[in-house]
Amino acid sequence: MAKYSTILFDLDGTITDPKGGITKSVAYALDYLHIGYPSLDSLCVFIGPPLREAFLAYGVQEKDIETAVAKYREYYIREQGIFDLTVYEGFGEMLEKLKQADKKIMLATCKVRSYARDILEKFSLLQYFDFVSGSELDGTRSSKSEVIAFALEQTGTAAAPDVIMVGDRKHDIIGAKDNHLQVASVLYSGYGSREEFLEHKTDFIIETVKDLQDFLLN
């Protein structure tokens, strides 16, 4: 029997490097609120966490959070920030091999679900996914724990040793553990660190996309 029959993937920092689109969209929102930032690179902290949580952590006041989110989305869609990203090299090929091996593949992202579907479709990846789980525009399912729970519930998937979450930040580990899943944390994006993964007690640390493919298929 295969080690893993069902795999849930995070999107940002796991399948794609969304640095350009996310940092420019955040900068647009912060500029509107007259909140300074050292550089676009300093806004990489927004890659991974739920958006509202990330704005709060950056110092945006609670009363301004909805405005920040609205301005972020305004740029993200109007200026095509949604597609200002790259798919990590070899990831599409890996998904094809996983599908050929009859794995159930799901997306579990804190990004708005419709945005996530549009990204997967744009980059010819949607056909590999059995289900896409994400947040909603109104803030429903804002945490990774809720996103994973929704994916499992909607697909009738029970937590089991052959079900695993793959992500690149602590939120993926926390969400997986809250749903009694194993979790593999990837280092190749550079957004999450080995220290972060160890602190939050991930089950596996994966260095490269090729390592991830070998891990999931063998």
**Hey, which residues are catalytic here?**
10
Q: What are phi and psi of 89, to 5 degrees?
A: -55, 130
Sign, CA dihedral 161-212-43-71, equals negative
Q: How far apart are CA 50 and CA 143, in angstroms?
A: 6
Which residue, 20, 5, 39, 7, is CA-closest to 166?
7
Query: Which residues neighbour 132 within 8 Å (Cβ) at sequence distance 6 or greater?
Result: 106, 107, 113, 116, 117, 120, 126
Q: For the chain, what is the radius of gyration of the CA atoms?
A: 17
